[in-house]
Each structure stands twice: as structure tokens, then as C-alpha cells.
Amino acid sequence: MRGIQNYHMDVQGWSDIGYHFLVNANGDLYEGRSGSMSSIPRGAHDACNDNSFGFNIMGYFHPPYNQVFTAASKNSIDACIAWRMPTGWSATGSGTYCGSSVPTLCGHYQVVATACPGDGIIPSLASMRTDVATKRSCGAGKTAVIKDNTAANYVGTWATGTSAADKYGADYRYHSTAPVSEPATWTANLNVTATWNVRVWYPAGSNRSTTASYLVSHAGGTTTAVVNQQITGGQWVLQGSWSMNAGNNNVALSVWTTTGYIVVADAVKWD
């Protein structure tokens, strides 16, 4: 991601990464352009950047490399599009953009002369529109669930802390990083089958792990979201959006990462 940012800023002369969101082959999502989580900052993904989002799938999906558009990547980017697009937007609609009549969820090649998103992705655009539309339609009726550290189950010795000013609630739990399987696990009983956002809250600090791993369980399996707990503390930090079945769903915080730090278990939110 730093390489992409450096190229876009230092070579292209843009103020940030040209795309609003990016996804890799593992399904890990990244905010590429500052402010994209809550607004529509002008991008640099085509010649007409106002009032639009640019979603980038990291890879080279046409000759000579022909990399594979993975299911994990597709599921994550579909969920991100379904979550981020504004009310009233239709994944299966169409309109005029940059002087061309295009689908509202279109490939870059449909707007300007380019190979993007690549031969390996273009055939999937139709199914992506259907998947995004499905994810957007099943979000109604969700009841958000917040689980504080007091509701988590702990394996091993997790100490209780209260000194951090940016904590959620009265306290939090913490554990030194180590090559052991001693997670903190939160469980939410979700009221409907839908696409759910998962957010985590932790107090930030210089002794926190930069690679704290949250294992998010969902309908498609388990995805590991890696968090730098030294920054962006004291707020709900979005880890991604996944299809989840009604009933119990877990998020576990592992301590098994680079030693010499601590991981902090504070709160998790499904919404």
C-alpha cells in the first residue's frame, strides 16, 4: 500500500492514492484516499472524479500475468461497495458518466480507454452487480450489537487496565504478545442473516502491537483483520463487512504475533 501511495503521490503528483478503497487477494480491505470512510473525496481513478467512488482490486488480471480474481477478494470488494454507496444508489442501474452511458457499477474500461480492471475480472462484473444488490437489500432490520471486554471469554492471563483515557467503558483487558493461543473472544447473537460491519475499539499506545490480529467469523469462514493498535484508538475502527448468519458469531483477538508488545481487548461492534 505504501508503494502504491508513493507512486501516486510522488510520481503522479496526486494528493493521496487515486482510489477510495482497495482489496488484495486475501480479501483485506484498505482505505486508499483519506476521508473515504465518511465522505466522497475527489479521486483520481478516471477523468471525471466528482460524486463517484473508485474501488481497486490489487493485481494484474490480464496478459502477461493473468493473476486470479480470488473469491475472497470478490466477496470483500462486493461487501465494501454494498456498504459504502449512498442511499438510493442501485447496483443494477445505469447512468451517464464522463460523457458515456455506463452501469452505475462499471469497469474503468467502460469510462475511458484502458484495460482495467482486466480480462480476469470483466466477466465477473455482472455477478458483482447482483451480489452487491443482494447485500444491500438484506441489511434492513439489523439490530446493532456491542460487546465490551466484560462480555468476552478469555484464555490465559489477561490483566485489567483502567488508565487509558480513550477506552470504551470503565476498563479494558490486555495481554503480552507471545507465540501462544490465548485469545479473547466476543460473541454476538445477530438477529438477521445479512451483511454486517465489524468494528473494534481499543485505547491506543506506543507499547501496543502494530499487528494485533482479530479473527472474524462469518458465513464464508474466518478472516483475519490485522490492526495497528498504536494509532486510531478511542473510536470504532471498521475491519470490514461480511455476510453473517443469524445467531452467534464470534470475533477473537489473538496474542500470537510479534513479541515485545501488548494487545488490548476492549470492545467489538456488529452493525
**pLDDT tens digits for 222-254?**
999 999 999 999 998 999 988 899 999 999 999
In 3D, which of 138, 121, 81 has the Cα closest to residue 105? 81
**pLDDT tens digits for 96-122?**
888 889 999 999 999 988 999 999 999
262 and 152 assigned to the same domain:
yes
CATH number at residue 65: 3.40.80.10
150 and 232 assigned to the same domain:
yes
Q: What is the pLDDT of residue 19?
A: 93
Grouping H, G, I as helix, E, B as strand and the rest as coil, residue 23 is strand
Q: Which helix (H) or strand (E) holds 83?
A: helix 71-84
215 and 197 assigned to the same domain:
yes
How far apart, in whole angstroms, are the C-alpha atoms of residue 270 and residue 249? Answer: 10
Q: Strands 145-148 and 267-270: what pairing?
A: antiparallel
Res. 271 pLDDT band, cuts 50 70 90:
confident
pTM: 0.55
Largest CA distance in the chain: 61
How far apart, in whole angstroms, are the C-alpha atoms of residue 13 and residue 245? Answer: 44
127 and 162 assigned to the same domain:
no
Q: Which domain holds residue 34?
A: 2-137
Contact between residue 224 and residue 213 where contact means Cβ atoms under 8 Å apart: yes
Q: Is the pLDDT of residue 140 over 70?
A: no
Residue 160 is placed in which grid cell?
A: 485489567
Residue pointed to by grid coordinates 455506463: 102
Q: Is the pLDDT of residue 150 over 90?
A: yes
**pLDDT tens digits for 159-168?**
999 999 999 9
How many domains is the chain partitioned into structurally?
A: 2
